Amino acid sequence: MKYKIYLSGPDRLLKNGKEIFEKYSLLCEKYGFELLKMPAELFIHNSDEKQGYELANKRLELIKQADIVIADTMDFRSNVEPYSESAFELGIGYALKKKLYCYMLDIRACADRYVLEKKTNEHGNIVDENGITFEPGPVNLMLEYSSKVVEGDFEDALKAAHKDMYEV
């Protein structure tokens, strides 16, 4: 059986997003998976409200077809949080009982990667400049405990998925 993968992340929005996606598709084949094909309109950068709703529904339909959701949860726009679309799509995958993988180059705790002001509060928790406690892991607890968080890139996530799915 060849498991189907839905890939989530901002790479598709880059100028060379289609080429990156093709490279990822070849990597999926190498590890015995099928990367679900995204229609060309999912590689666009701007959309109006109606078009955005239609595009979101197309992505959700692809997630329904997938066995696995692999998401880029690397720090987005110099922050310690993933791309919000990826977080949303992981949530959909979780609700649909898909196998979930997150990949990021640095899996140190959020607080260790945070570059703005932080301090320890009266309870011994590390908090940001607003007093909000950091999660102990590399991503929000809801993502961390519903997904396998892999240190590395997309290929490293594929290796982990291959081990889990094919080498059991």
pLDDT number for residue 45: 65
- Distance in angstroms (rounded) separating the CA atoms of residues 61 and 65: 7
81 part of a folded domain? yes
Q: Which two tokens stand for residue 58?
A: 């197309």
Three-class secondary structure assignment of 31-75: CCCEECCCCHHHHCCCCCHHHHHHHHHHHHHHHHHCCEEEEECCC
Q: What local confidence, expressed as pLDDT, does residue 12 receive?
A: 86
pLDDT at 38: 87
Asked whether residue 35 is domain-assigned, the answer is yes
Does some domain include residue 127?
A: no
Q: Is residue 74 part of a domain?
A: yes
In a domain, 8, yes or no: yes
pLDDT at res. 150 = 98
Q: Is residue 129 part of a domain?
A: no
Residue 156 sits in which domain range? 4-107+139-166
**pLDDT the model gives residue 154:** 98
Q: What is the mean pLDDT of each run of 10 residues along the chain (168 residues)?
A: 95 90 97 92 76 88 98 87 93 98 96 93 95 93 95 98 94
What pTM does this model have?
0.93
CATH number, position 49: 3.40.50.450
Q: How many structural domains does the chain have?
A: 1
Indicate whether 47 belongs to any domain. Answer: yes
